[in-house]
Amino acid sequence: MAGLEDLYKEIIMDHYRSPRNRGELPTPPAVCTEGFNPLCGDQITVYIDVTDGVLKDIKITGQGCSISQSSSSLMSAAVKGKSLEQVQETIGTFKQLMTGHETALEDGGEPEKVDIRALGELAALQGVVKFPVRIKCAVLAWNTLSQALSELPS
Amino acid sequence: MTSFNAALVRADTPQLTRVINGYPITYLDSGATSLPPRAVIEAMSRHYELHHANVHRSVFQTASEATEAYEGARLAIAKFINAPGGAEEIVFTKNCTESFNLLARSWGRVNLKQGDVVLLSEMEHHANIVPWFQLRDMLGFEVRFIPVTDDFRLDLSNIDELMKGVKLLSVTGMSNVLGTINPIKELSAIAHKHGALIAVDAAQSVAHSVTDVKDLDVDFMCFSAHKMLGPTGIGIFWTRKEILRDMPPFLGGGGMIADVSVDGYTPANGPTRFEAGTPPIAEAAGLGAAVTYLTGLGMANIAQHEHDLTGDALTRLELEFSGRIRVIGPRDMTNRGGVISIDVDGVHPHDVAQMLDQFGVCVRPGHHCAKPLMKRFGLNATARISYGPYSLVRDTDMLLEALHSAIGMFG
């Protein structure tokens, strides 16, 4: 049984208490997308400002548990100022961290170690995998960001 | 003759011997589903070990035994809710939600039209909201809501106005979020005065108080077995014989027909008209055992026990967490059942529930399928504590200890 300290790490609690990049951006030029977790009522709105292939600014509003809120804060810090290519790569790595090893877990195995250096602070969310019902909390912001990116005017 | 001792009920409930994270389980989620006693589990395994066959037409012995168990459950439920027309008025469905869909798609479809109104309340479960919206979108009638007051009761101050044009009033007997017990007898008098019928969502109330459809003078009732110590997979729909007789079939298939030819079909009479396909037979056997068990405990005794537990918990929550925990539900214990929704300042309900789990305490976070009610009180979610006949004061003790710890961690 995974301990709670795996879930509620210092970094997570810090981002929950003092979320980064909180707020709104004027639309347009920013694109805004809303995400819901219908099971628990969590709601999140992601605003992104993309210029010349770079995610220049990101702001997030919404309500939810410590995992969904800290994940959105950590995400905003990780993707802000990055090229869209890098953003997509980070999204991919994070989603893999959350869902890529479910089969191994079901077989009683431990999640495969992901290269922590590539993840930076995001690695703090690794413990969520041991609490499968909370994965949907952690990925809400990421799915919403993916959606926002897909809605960018081409 | 009834006898009630919660400690004995606990001893009858195998799952309550579980140890979770090193703590004996503290099960406080009976509002979502109740834990079956050994009698129910054994009735179901006995069915599969000895009596399993398909019901009705077969003539061999085990088939008649299975039919007897299935029809016996129907009779047991009829007695349990005092159905005036007996077993002929009880339809088995999949769950309470399907019972509401049956009400809407069968009775509603032929009795509602443009200009009519279905009156619900703001404290309804989605099961008693969504089927009406779906039907409204097909037929074009109006769905209206009785508001909820700031002290978590139905606001009946304007009820005569709200009742204008209403064909059906459909309300919950007890809110699954607030614990509020609604004045069904009063509401049925109001509905009938206005020429409307009344349906009751008894999912929460039926396992925790005496239910008498004749005395309540209601027209429809929906509930599910798994919230009354029975198994999942079987729900109940009740209406008076005269109404059921004129309701068209809902789901089609085997078992619900009187005749089928290449030109068409004639539906069966009675409850089987609404029971297409092989029904939940083992589940009915389990439900029958649950009714026997509950009747033995005495519904009035269960109601009193849960009333005492809830009153004690509300007092202690107030004493120990004043200013930090807000109870979303009546403080007054009159017409209030064993469901307590809490909002912990600064800690999201999901985190509350996760922390409590570390102590083996099972509570439910979320909107509890009552989003209009959540919106009414400006909430996205609550953490919900709900008691059952096997709950003890020690469950509340453990809950409070775990809540202190959760709040301590979040500061």
Predicted confidence (pLDDT) per residue in B147-159, tens digit: 999 999 999 999 9
Give pLDDT, residue A101: 54
The residues of chain B that CATH labels 3.90.1150.10 are 6-30+298-410
Asked whether the beta carbons of B12 and B38 are under 8 A apart, the reply is yes
| In the predicted structure, residue A23 carries a pLDDT above the cut 60 | yes
Would you call B369 a catalytic residue per the annotation? yes
The residues of chain B that CATH labels 3.40.640.10 are 41-296
From the candidates B96, B222, B362, B369, give the one annotated as an active-site residue: B369
Q: Is any Cβ of chain A less than 8 angstroms from the Cβ of B355?
A: yes
* Whole-angstrom distance, CA of residue B223 vs CA of residue B204: 8
Preferred mutation among A65, A130, A135 to probe B, highest tally of B CBs within 10 A? A65
Q: Is B323 left (phi over 0), alpha (psi -120 to 50) or beta?
A: left
Inspect the interface and report whether the beta carbons of B354 and A4 lie closer than 8 Å: yes
What lies within 8 Å, CB to CB, of B195 at 6+ separation is: none
The share of chain B scoring above pLDDT 90, in percent, equals 95
| In the predicted structure, residue B261 carries a pLDDT above the cut 70 | yes
DSSP H or E segment with residue B104: none
Give pLDDT, residue A1: 47
Q: Is any Cβ of chain B less than 8 angstroms from the Cβ of A45?
A: no
- Helix axis angle, A66-79 to B349-357, nearest 10°: 110
Report pLDDT digits (tens) over B8-35: 999 999 999 999 999 999 999 999 999 9
**Among candidate residues B102, B96, B151, the one with its CA nearest the CA of residue B124:** B96
* pLDDT tier, B41 (very low <50, low <70, confident <90, very high otherwise): very high
Inspect the interface and report whether the beta carbons of B354 and A131 lie closer than 8 Å: yes
How high does pLDDT run on average in chain B? Answer: 96
| In the predicted structure, residue B283 carries a pLDDT above the cut 80 | yes
Q: Is any Cβ of chain A less than 8 angstroms from the Cβ of B365?
A: yes
Q: How many CB pairs under 8 A join A and B?
A: 46
Can you tell me whether residue A38 is helix, strand or coil?
A: coil
Q: What is the mean pLDDT of residues B396-404?
A: 97
Cβ-Cβ contacts under 8 Å, A7 against chain B = 354
B323-327: Cβ within 8 A, 24+ apart: B324/B407, B325/B403
CATH 1.10.3480.10 fits B41-296, yes or no: no
Burial class from Cβ neighbours inside 10 Å (0-12, 13-18, 19+) for residue B64 reads middle
Give pLDDT, residue B117: 98
Q: Is the ipTM of this complex over 0.95?
A: no
Report pLDDT digits (tens) over B45-96: 999 999 999 998 788 999 999 999 999 999 999 999 999 999 999 999 999 9
**Among candidate residues B368, B313, B289, the one with its CA nearest the CA of residue B123:** B368
| In the predicted structure, residue A124 carries a pLDDT above the cut 60 | yes
Asked whether the beta carbons of B104 and B130 are under 8 A apart, the reply is no
* Whole-angstrom distance, CA of residue B223 vs CA of residue B229: 12
Q: What is the mean pLDDT of residues B375-395?
A: 95
Give pLDDT, residue A106: 56
In the block, tokens 């206005």 appear at B194
Give pLDDT, residue B37: 98
* Whole-angstrom distance, CA of residue A72 vs CA of residue A145: 9
CATH 3.90.1150.10 fits B6-30+298-410, yes or no: yes
The beta strands (E) that lie in B62-116 are given as 90-93
Among partner residues B355, B358, B381, which is closest to A40 by beta-carbon distance? B381
| In the predicted structure, residue A109 carries a pLDDT above the cut 70 | no
Among partner residues A1, A63, A67, which is closest to B380 by beta-carbon distance? A63
Q: Which of residues 56 through 75 in chain A touch B, CB cutoff 8 A?
A: 63-67, 69
Q: Is any Cβ of chain B less than 8 angstroms from the Cβ of A40?
A: yes
Cβ-Cβ contacts under 8 Å, B365 against chain A = 40
* Third-level CATH fold of A4-150: Sufe protein. Chain: A (3.90.1010)
Cβ-Cβ contacts under 8 Å, B350 against chain A = 40, 42, 64-67, 134, 137
Inspect the interface and report whether the beta carbons of A66 and B348 lie closer than 8 Å: yes
